[in-house]
Amino acid sequence: MDTPVIRTRGLVKRYGDLVAVDGVDLTIPAGDVYGLLGPNGAGKTTLMRMLFGLIRPDDGTIELFGRAGALGKVDSLRDVAGFVETPRFYGYLSGRANLEVLATLDRRKRDGVIDEVLGEVDLSDRAKDKVREYSYGMVQRLGVAAALMRSPRLLILDEPTNGLDPAGIRDMRALVRRLAAGGITILLSSHNMLEVEEICRHVAIMRRGRIAFDGSMDDLRARADDVQYRLVTSDDAVAAEVAARVEGVHHVTREPDGVRFDSQPVPVERLTVELGVCGIGIRQLELPTTALETLFFRLTESVAPEAVAA
């Protein structure tokens, strides 16, 4: 069996009474785009900081390509690159000059490499422009270029599309696909289920520092049965009571913007008939989320979820 690119066992990080990462076991094989998904505050960034050796775990172990990770040990990060949160550069220097500085600090050859990575991230035409003139999306891509100078086999990207406009999101997703097609294993964190679904083959979902799901996207899709609906009626209080009595309608909640529930189409049809019998008018019935998003919310917002491994 091939050695996993990343393996963590019982990983824990505490900040006082807050357990940011709580006993995380994660195994990431080579040659994959692996999504680390979870709402803000789930522990994704803390986990990535520990992978990079930026902070020390309070318990547990980390292995990168079979090597034990260690705080401050450069050798443990051989073949690993990426960034946590937003990459930082000197705004008064050009994109090329920033990469030259990094190459010098990393004691790496510049000849041809900088041109190659700038071309890889579609920044060749803006290489001589100062970074302070770059858009946020361009800064993100320059961060990927800086990581690629290390010729990594593992690329770790923390929320790479966060804050980007639609065009920037499209460009970053296309870049991730190209890099993965070139043989780089990518660990990509996100709080957006649709993004992970589009570009990742495997996913781990975190909730309050723990793993709520770990498996392939196909396995996750197989679990995503019900879809969350939003219903607005002439009497939402009574409509919620009616919905709770209909077989096949689950997780009924009364919200300020209407009644929300999980279901399949056939039970929804029965619900609409029952509402008509009760004399309740339907003003709006919509699907604000996909089945996968519904499952994501259920895994990350439930009171006491159990970790699920596919």
Asked if residue 307 has pLDDT above 60, the reply is no
* CATH number of the CATH domain containing 234: 3.30.70.980
Token code pair at residue 157: 């990207």
Residues 142 and 193 in one domain: yes
| Domain-embedded: residue 309 | no
In the predicted model, what is the mean pLDDT of the chain?
A: 86
| Domain-embedded: residue 308 | no
Mean pLDDT on 170-177: 88
Are the beta carbons of 7 and 63 closer than 8 angstroms? yes
Residues 121 and 269 in one domain: no
**Can you give the pTM of this predicted structure?**
0.76
Residue 309: what pLDDT? 44
| Domain-embedded: residue 265 | yes
Residues 248 and 107 in one domain: no
| Domain-embedded: residue 296 | no
Q: Which of 81-85, 105-109, 176-180, 302-306 has the lowest mean pLDDT?
A: 302-306
- For the chain, give the percent of residues with pLDDT over 70: 92
Range of the domain at 242: 225-289
Residues 169 and 39 in one domain: yes
| Domain-embedded: residue 123 | yes
Residues 177 and 250 in one domain: no
Residue 302: what pLDDT? 55
- In this prediction, residue 310 has a pLDDT band, given cuts at 50, 70 and 90, of very low
* End position of a domain, from candidates 222, 237, 263: 222
Report the domain count for the chain.
2
Say which residue, 288 or 149, is predicted with more confidence. Answer: 149
- The model's pLDDT over 185-244, given as tens digits with 9 standing for 90+, comes to 999 998 888 788 888 889 998 988 999 889 888 888 777 777 888 999 999 999 999 999
Residues in the chain: 310
CA 72-73-79 angle, 5° bins: 120
Alpha-helical (H) ranges within the chain are: 44-51, 95-105, 113-120, 136-148, 166-181, 193-199, 217-223, 236-245, 265-277, 291-301
Residues 178 and 232 in one domain: no
* CATH number of the CATH domain containing 193: 3.40.50.300
SS3 call for 244: helix
Residues 62 and 164 in one domain: yes
Residues 174 and 280 in one domain: no
Mean pLDDT on 156-167: 85
Residue 243: what pLDDT? 94
CA distance 206 to 42: 6
Residue 111: what pLDDT? 67
Asked if residue 96 has pLDDT above 90, the reply is yes
- The model's pLDDT over 241-292, given as tens digits with 9 standing for 90+, comes to 999 999 999 889 999 999 999 888 889 999 999 999 999 999 999 876 666 7
| Domain-embedded: residue 295 | no
Cα radius of gyration rounded to whole Å, the chain: 23
* End position of a domain, from candidates 177, 193, 222: 222
Residue 227: what pLDDT? 81
Residues 263 and 215 in one domain: no
CA distance 12 to 146: 30
Residues 19 and 130 in one domain: yes
Residues 27 and 81 in one domain: yes
Look at residues 199, 187, 204 and name the one whose alpha carbon lies nearest to residue 80. Answer: 187
Residues 46 and 183 in one domain: yes
